[in-house]
């Protein structure tokens, strides 16, 4: 809207509006030029990664639409489109922006994320260079472009300096990543059994320069030993657990295997690698300020909630949080996935959380047709085979709440949509909804295959 006003007011000829649209397109490029990772600027601005990604794509689309308007006006006005290098670079810039638009559609991103990311960066660099050559030096647009390029250079320099500081410490070894399988090796599709690999992994990374880890942080992990192209690009993972002792800081991540970096990681389970980490990024949420905390996770989304759960239970024991009721609903897909999660569930992580209570925390299980099954050494987690009744549960919890309530989502689209709709229906001052930066992928199989796992702590 603002862009349209700037292009059309004060009243001008089509040719002038075309020029203004070009200038506005360049101005819109400025917020897009925020260095090699969106996460850094996102953290500085104190906004969520989702908001940042959504703004990035909307501002990008606006810039492309304005550039398209500029191109249409110029080509209509045959005299202005001359056979000069300036025009050639204009065509190159326009084509690069057009390709960015086409390659940013959802099916491409979903199917070939890595390919999308590389092409996006390359095309953005080509577009910038071409616009720079296309613009006459003394125009307003050229000045705005210079501002954008300087901003990009400064943010990139800060980013790589922080990366170097995090990974290179004089007299200390590089970070090491120990990959441990948490599920048994399973063949995928028609793969021979000999090539089967585990689908759930725990990666423990000992970092050379420790920091104060907080719930909600994620890091980008690169492992060059997995291959130059696969291993070098950083992949984001939530810090699910961390241990700090005299020898330093070890952060642990839970990895669900996909087709690229994570598959290579699974193929190399039980090995130790040299690693590089970028971060930490992410905005922590203050769950301890709420009387009731409801956490909803699907599959590997549990990794996003683990650190908050840990903080809340220890904060409860030391009387540092207001939270008196925590309800965690975790949906997993099927027997196969449950098998993958089970060894992790009985690991000391969950045990540590659940044995920290002072006797005031009790766990309850929703009724199910199936006999309850106990899980873990603490006998506090029980499994039910019914899928969670998100609507009923939220209605009940929000309706009968004491104090403020926060609902946190680290769940696939289907569950997140249901929870969001339900919370919005009951939205008021004391109700808050947060969606964590990581959204796990949707389960592919039908809902009837799902089994629910639900456990809550009450104080």
Ligand X SMILES: Cc1cc2nc3c(=O)[nH]c(=O)nc-3n(C[C@H](O)[C@H](O)[C@H](O)COP(=O)(O)OP(=O)(O)OC[C@H]3O[C@@H](n4cnc5c(N)ncnc54)[C@H](O)[C@@H]3O)c2cc1C
Question: Which residues of this chain interact with ligand X, rule CB under 6 A?
Answer: 49, 110, 113-114, 218, 235-238, 253-256, 258-263, 300, 303, 437-438
Please name which of 316, 327, 311 lies closest in space to residue 408, comparing C-alpha atoms: 327
> For residue 164, what is the enclosing H or E element?
helix 140-167
Work out how close the CB of 40 gets to ligand X at its nearest, in angstroms, rounded to a whole number: 13
Please name which of 260, 253, 263 lies closest in space to residue 188, comparing C-alpha atoms: 263
Work out how close the CB of 365 gets to ligand X at its nearest, in angstroms, rounded to a whole number: 26
Work out how close the CB of 59 gets to ligand X at its nearest, in angstroms, rounded to a whole number: 19
Q: Cβ(60)–Cβ(32) under 8 Å?
A: yes
How far apart CA 169 and CA 5 sit, in angstroms, is 52
Work out how close the CB of 452 gets to ligand X at its nearest, in angstroms, rounded to a whole number: 21
> For residue 176, what is the enclosing H or E element?
strand 175-181
Residue 415 CB contacts under 8 Å (≥ 6 apart), including other chains: 296, 298, 331, 390, 409
| CA angle (55, 8, 22) in 5-degree steps | 60
Work out how close the CB of 251 gets to ligand X at its nearest, in angstroms, rounded to a whole number: 11
Residue 25 CB contacts under 8 Å (≥ 6 apart), including other chains: 63, 64, 66, 67, 70
Work out how close the CB of 53 gets to ligand X at its nearest, in angstroms, rounded to a whole number: 9
Minimal CB distance to ligand X: which residue?
260
Work out how close the CB of 50 gets to ligand X at its nearest, in angstroms, rounded to a whole number: 9
How far apart CA 170 and CA 167 sit, in angstroms, is 10
Phi, psi of 122 (to 5 degrees): -65, -45
Query: In this complex, which beta carbon is closest to ligand X, that of residue 148 or of residue 236?
Result: 236
| CA angle (415, 447, 398) in 5-degree steps | 30
Work out how close the CB of 262 gets to ligand X at its nearest, in angstroms, rounded to a whole number: 3
Query: In this complex, which beta carbon is closest to ligand X, that of residue 86 or of residue 227?
Result: 227
Query: In this complex, which beta carbon is closest to ligand X, that of residue 6 or of residue 438?
Result: 438
Query: In this complex, which beta carbon is closest to ligand X, that of residue 199 or of residue 366?
Result: 199
DSSP-based three-state secondary structure for 111: helix
Residue 279 CB contacts under 8 Å (≥ 6 apart), including other chains: 39, 166, 217, 218, 219, 220
What CA–CA distances, in Å, run from 339 to 31, 179, 201?
A: 45, 19, 13
- Give Cα 360 distance to the centre of its chain: 35
Query: In this complex, which beta carbon is closest to ligand X, that of residue 32 or of residue 131?
Result: 32
Residue 73 CB contacts under 8 Å (≥ 6 apart), including other chains: 14, 15, 17, 18, 21
Query: In this complex, which beta carbon is closest to ligand X, that of residue 26 or of residue 350?
Result: 350
How far apart CA 3 and CA 24 sit, in angstroms, is 7
Work out how close the CB of 344 gets to ligand X at its nearest, in angstroms, rounded to a whole number: 12
Residue 306 CB contacts under 8 Å (≥ 6 apart), including other chains: 240, 241, 349
Work out how close the CB of 278 gets to ligand X at its nearest, in angstroms, rounded to a whole number: 11
Query: In this complex, which beta carbon is closest to ligand X, that of residue 269 or of residue 303?
Result: 303
Q: What is the DSSP letter of 103?
A: H
Query: In this complex, which beta carbon is closest to ligand X, that of residue 14 or of residue 115?
Result: 115
How far apart CA 294 and CA 208 sit, in angstroms, is 35
Query: In this complex, which beta carbon is closest to ligand X, that of residue 45 or of residue 360?
Result: 45
Query: In this complex, which beta carbon is closest to ligand X, that of residue 184 or of residue 259?
Result: 259
Work out how close the CB of 310 gets to ligand X at its nearest, in angstroms, rounded to a whole number: 15
Query: In this complex, which beta carbon is closest to ligand X, that of residue 343 or of residue 430?
Result: 343
Q: What is the DSSP letter of 362?
A: B
């Amino acid at each position: 809207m603002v862009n349209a006003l700037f292009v059309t007011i004060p009243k001008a000829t089509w040719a002038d509006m075309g020029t203004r649209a070009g200038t506005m397109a360049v101005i819109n490029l400025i917020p897009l030029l925020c260095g090699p990772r969106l996460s850094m600027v996102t953290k500085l601005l104190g906004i969520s990664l989702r908001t940042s990604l959504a703004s990035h794509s909307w501002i990008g689309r606006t810039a492309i639409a304005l550039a398209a308007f500029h191109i249409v006006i110029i080509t209509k006005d045959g005299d202005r489109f001359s056979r000069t290098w300036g025009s050639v670079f204009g065509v190159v810039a326009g084509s690069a922006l057009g390709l960015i638009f086409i390659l940013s559609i959802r099916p491409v991103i979903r199917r070939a994320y890595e390919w999308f990311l590389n092409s996006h960066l390359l095309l953005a660099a080509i577009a910038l260079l071409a616009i720079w050559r296309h613009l006459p030096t003394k125009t307003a647009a050229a000045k705005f472009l210079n501002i954008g390029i300087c901003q990009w250079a400064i943010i990139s320099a800060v980013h790589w300096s922080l990366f170097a500081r995090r990974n290179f410490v004089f007299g200390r070894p590089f970070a090491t990543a120990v990959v441990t399988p948490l599920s048994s090796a399973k063949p995928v599709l028609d793969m021979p059994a000999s090539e089967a690999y585990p689908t759930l992994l725990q990666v423990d990374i000992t970092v050379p320069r420790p920091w104060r880890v907080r719930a909600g942080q994620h890091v980008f992990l690169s492992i060059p030993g997995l291959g130059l192209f696969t291993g070098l690009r950083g992949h984001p993972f939530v810090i699910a657990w961390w241990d700090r002792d005299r020898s330093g800081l070890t952060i642990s991540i839970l990895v669900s295997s996909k087709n690229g970096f994570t598959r290579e990681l699974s193929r190399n389970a039980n090995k130790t690698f040299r690693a590089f980490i970028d971060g930490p990024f992410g905005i922590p949420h203050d769950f301890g300020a709420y009387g009731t905390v409801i956490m909803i996770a699907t599959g590997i989304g549990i990794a996003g909630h683990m650190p908050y759960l840990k903080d809340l239970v220890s904060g409860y024991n030391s009387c540092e949080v207001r939270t008196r009721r925590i309800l965690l609903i975790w949906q997993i897909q099927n027997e196969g996935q449950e098998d993958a999660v089970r060894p992790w569930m009985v690991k000391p992580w969950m045990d540590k959380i659940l044995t920290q209570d002072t006797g005031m925390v009790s766990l309850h299980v929703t009724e199910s047709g199936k006999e309850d099954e106990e899980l873990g050494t603490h006998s506090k987690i029980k499994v039910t085979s019914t899928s969670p009744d998100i609507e009923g549960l939220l209605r009940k919890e929000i309706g009968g709440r004491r104090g403020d309530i926060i609902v946190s989502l680290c769940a696939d689209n289907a569950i997140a949509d249901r929870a969001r709709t339900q919370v919005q229906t009951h939205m008021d001052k004391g109700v808050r909804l947060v969606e964590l930066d990581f959204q796990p992928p949707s389960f592919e199989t039908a809902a009837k295959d799902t089994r629910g796992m639900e456990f809550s702590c009450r104080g």
